[in-house]
Structures are given as C-alpha cells and as structure tokens.
Amino acid sequence: MEQLHSIENVPPLPKVRRAAIRPILKPGRAFWPVVALLTAIVAWGIMAWTVQVRQGLGSAGYNDHAFWAIYIADVITFIGVSYGGAVVSAILRLTGAHWRAPLTRIAEATAVVTVIIGASFIIPHLGRPERVLELIWRPNLSSPIFWDFVAVSTYAFASIVFFFLPLMPDLAVSNPAMEEAGLTRRARLFKLLSFRWNGNQRQHRRLNGAIGLVAIMIIPLAVSVHSVLSWAFSLTSRPWWHESIWAPYFVVAALYSGIALVILVVALFRKVYGLEPFISERHFVRLGFILVPFGAAYLYLTLADFLPGSYVGEHGIAAVFSAVITGRYALWFWIFVFGGCIIPIVIMALPWTRRLGFIVGAAALVDGSLWLKRIIMVVAPANYERVNGLFGAYHFTWISISVTLAGVAAIPLLLLLLFRVVPILPVTEMEEIAAIEAGIISAHAPVSGGVGKTIAPELVAPGVTAIDTTANLDMHTEGI
C-alpha cells in the first residue's frame, strides 16, 4: 500500500508508523489481563469510596484536627504530575529540541490522564460530592476554592487541546491502516477527528500556528493552576500555610514530580510496546538532567521556607516547624529530603548511576517522596490546634489508601486504553524531524511545534543527538 505523506514532501517512516499503531491493531497477550487487574484496583477504590459516602468522611481517617489530609494531597499530586507532561512537550517544542519527538505523545497523554484523575479526587475530598455543581450554580467568587475549580477546568481543557492538535495528522495517516485491518469503527473515528487533514502547506501552517500558541499558553496556564491550588492553603491564616512561598513551591514541585512521572510512564510503555528503537537510554538521561535543577530548586525552596520560620520562633509556625523537622512528622520529612531530592540528584550526578534502571528508580523516589511531602504540608498545619497549640493526629484507613491506590492504578489503565485508540508515537512529528535532519525539508519551513522555523538546521543538527532516535530507522538519516 502506498504510504500517505503526513506533510507535503516529507517522506513517511514505515517503522515508526507500524510501531505507533501496533497497540491499536494487536495488543500483546498480557494486555487484557493487565487491564483487568488495573480495573479491579480502580473498582476496589470506588467501592471503598461508596463505603466512605455511607459512613461519612470520618471513615477515611478525618477528624476536626485533620480536616484536610490525604485526598487534597492526592489532588495536588496528580494535578502536579500532569504539569510534567505538558512541560516536557511544550518547552521542548518551543526550544526546538528534536530529541523530544518520540516522547511528546506519551507525555501529553500523561498530562491529560493525570489532570483528569487529579480533578476527580475532588469528589472523595468533598463531604457532599452530590452538591459539587453548586460551585457553578451559586459560586462565591471571593473563595479560592472556586478559582481552583476554574483554574483546574481551564488547564484540563487546555491539556486536552494540546494533546489533540498534534494528533490530528497522525490520525489521518493512520486511517488507511485501520481500514486495512478491518477496524472500521476506529477508521471512522480517525477520519472524523482528523478533520480532513491532507498535509498541504496551508493546513500545516495553521496547525503549526495553533500548536505553537497552545504550547506557549499552557506554560503560564499551568503556573496559574498550581499557584491557585496553593492559595487554597495560603489564603488562610494557618501557620505554615499562610506563606508567600507556597505558590512557587507548588509550581516547582509540580514540574519536578511531573518530569519524574514522564520518565516512569515512558519507561513503562517503551518496554511493553517495544519502543526501544525510537526511545533510547539517552532520552532518559536527558529527562533525568531536566529533573536535577528542579530537584535542587525544590530543596532550596524547602530551606528558604523553613529557615526564617524556625529561626524567629513565632508561636504557631515554630510549633509546626519543630514538629516537621524534629518532631512527629520528622521521619517522613527526612525521607522526603533524602529520597525525594538528594538521592535522585546524586543518581544523576554520578556517571556510573546515570543509567536507565537507576534513573527510573530515582523518578519513582521523587514521585513517592513528593506525595509524602504534600501529606506533611497538608496534615501538619491542619493538625495544629490554634487555640492551645497542641497537635491532633491523622491516620490512614483502608478506605483512604484504597481510593488513593485506585488513582495510581488509573494512570496506566487510562493510558493503556488511550493507546488502544490513538497512535502512541507522534508519527507526523517524527517524520518531519527526520526529514529536517536529513536535509530533505528545511527547518525554515513550518515545523510542528512553532518556533522551529526560526532555527536553522545547521544550528540544530550538530548539537542534537536525536539522531540516535532515527539513526536506525530505515531512511533519510544518511544525510546528516
């Protein structure tokens, strides 16, 4: 069958196309058992939540001295990791980093999936979820919670658009394969959602402009989301919450944990879908290098946060800080400091640990520890009794743990299901970048991702080792 060109004059890469739609055509033997297992975990969590609805929020360990706890920490964590997908994709697009190409689809899909899961955790967080639409019917515009709702909805919508735009041409070029394989429903869906993409210059220019615009917009949008989330805390007068550092705290933590999640998800799908020819160990090293400054920045913000409050010793803040640094929360806090910041940085700093397994381990440490950090940040000030200065306590229950694990299991589950429907590799983008690197088209021509047109190929090519993503492909790499 003749290959459709994704963009005029850009030759197709059959290997990429085959790999991108392999999960759609024929999932592996393990696919359905894994999906069933993950579905079971999610179903168990939903069951636990129904028990919570019947018995009241107290069944999740909440009490008057732990009025906010695990679920709001989950909201922050999941919406936080969503930022990583958006940023890897948006910033690397805008800076014209060619090596990004095979990662963007997975990264953007992760952003979409995690922001949906994170927003869903509002439901178990609320005592009266059936009244959640009152946020629309009778909003109080002076409430930070209302603006949380606005910001998260806007960001979720933007991340879906950001996921969808680069997908359109891919659906068009994958459509014939769907028809050939007899997947008529998917073929129809692809045809519908590709909006008659034929790859001509005009379409390409328009799409390109739109992607560039959304890539720019999604960065401040995500900054605003995490800031507004933090203001749900810092607009109260509670010790430690009421701090101006919380907004940057949340933004940096979101980037840090988000990039870590991209590493985990890319590693997972690379392995299960055999994407090793396109995604090399080098990709992980690069992502790991992006991790380091954010880890260092977060560690720095933590120090900048704790030093002044501990030094001066105002009653409330001193009590909370001493509980965190040396008191009842100290174990968890120091696990975060070492596991969440220092060890991952060391892993990336030492050449002999800068390898796939270690990097994936570092990423897992980062995400786990930052969840822990959020728990501390939520629970310690909530536990603090502001009249007499004593501390209450929060204990996890099987219900809150089950619901949280359901959220964790939902990430791979939704991604597995999503890549049953859409190509897992950004075919068009990879073909285009391969063509640019092969000198077939000029980078001055519109490149999906916006600012590529301003970057001359001779400036990009030498420094970009993205060649290893395409070097073993079947064509058009000799010219480099």
Partner 1 sequence: MKPITSPVRISRRNPQDAPHSPTGEIRSGGTGADSPTVRRGMTRRALLGSMGAVGASAAAATAALDLFGSKGAAASTPPATSSTPASSSTNPLHQWAMVLDLRNCDGCKACTAACQQRHELNPEQEWIKVYSMETAGGQPYHMPRPCMMCEDPPCMYVCPVGATFRTDEGLVLVDQDHCIGCRTCMAACPYQARYFNWTTPKDVAKVPGMPRSPMFPTPQVKDTVGKCVWCADRLPHGELPACVAACPMGVIYIGDLTVDAATDGLGNVVKLSDFIRNNDAIRFQESEGTNPRVWYIPGHGQDLSNDTTA
Host H or E run for residue 136? helix 134-137
Looking at beta carbons only, is 319 or 356 nearer to partner 1? 319
Nearer to partner 1, 242 or 453 (CB): 242
- Taking the C-alpha atoms of residue 182 and residue 200, their distance in angstroms, rounded to an integer, is 27
- What CA–CA distance (Å, rounded) separates 9 from 184? 29
* Under rule CB under 8 A, residue 126 binds partner 1: yes
Under the criterion CB under 8 A, does residue 142 sit at the interface with partner 1?
yes
Contact 393, 66 (CB under 8 A): yes
Burial grade of 180 (CB within 10 A; 0-12, 13-18, 19 or more): exposed
Measured CA to CA, the distance from residue 257 to residue 252 in angstroms comes to 9
Q: Which is nearer to partner 1, 64 or 458 (CB)?
A: 64
Figure out which of the listed residues 81, 135, 261, 406 binds partner 1, where binding follows CB under 8 A.
Answer: 135
Q: Smallest distance, Å, CB 470 to partner 1?
A: 48
Applying CB under 8 A, which part among 36-44, 128-136, 190-198, 246-254 lies near partner 1? 128-136
For partner 1, give the closer residue by CB, 241 or 419: 241
Nearest to 381 by CA among 372, 394, 362: 394
Nearer to partner 1, 28 or 129 (CB): 129
Closest contact distance (angstroms) between CB of 387 and partner 1 is 5
CB of 257 to partner 1, least distance (A): 23
Pattern 355-384, binding to partner 1, x per CB under 8 A? ---------------------------x--
Q: How many residues bind partner 1 (CB under 8 A)?
A: 46
200 binds partner 1 (CB under 8 A): no
Ranges within 297-326 binding partner 1 (CB under 8 A): 314-316
Q: Which of 213, 390, 393, 459 lies at the binding interface for partner 1 (CB under 8 A)?
A: 390
Alpha helices in 236-337 (DSSP H): 246-272, 281-312, 315-325, 330-335
Q: Per CB under 8 A, does 139 bind partner 1? A: yes
CB of 126 or CB of 473, closer to partner 1: 126
Contact 111, 89 (CB under 8 A): yes
Torsion of CA 37, 42, 43, 48, to 10 degrees: 130
Q: Does 246 bind partner 1 (CB under 8 A)?
A: no
Applying CB under 8 A, does 55 fall inside the site for partner 1? yes
DSSP annotation of 393 = -
Q: How far is the CB of 54 from partner 1 (least distance, A)?
A: 9
CB of 95 to partner 1, least distance (A): 31
Per CB under 8 A, the list member of 50, 143, 326, 454 interacting with partner 1 is 143
- State the minimum distance, in angstroms, from the CB of residue 134 to partner 1: 4
The smaller minimum CB distance to partner 1, of residues 65 and 191, is found at 65
Query: Judged by CB under 8 A, does residue 238 bind partner 1?
Result: yes
Question: Contact letters (x/-) for partner 1, 406-445, by CB under 8 A?
Answer: ----------------------------------------
Closest CA to 280 of 111, 60, 102: 102
Q: Is 131 in the site for partner 1 (CB under 8 A)?
A: yes
Cα distances (angstroms) measured from residue 394 to each of 89, 93, 373, 407 = 38, 43, 15, 21
Q: Which of 233, 284, 298, 321: binder of partner 1 (CB under 8 A)?
A: 233
* Spatial distance between the Cα atoms of 63 and 59, rounded to a whole number of angstroms: 9
DSSP letters for 350-364? SGGG-SHHHHHHHHH
Contact 270, 93 (CB under 8 A): no
- DSSP sequence for 427-458: HHHHHHHHHHHTTSS-TTS--TTSGGGGS-HH
The residues with which 128 forms a beta bridge, in sequence order, are: none
**Positions in the binding site for partner 1 (CB under 8 A):** 55-59, 62-64, 67-68, 125-129, 131-132, 134-135, 138-146, 149, 232-233, 235-238, 241, 314-316, 382, 385-390
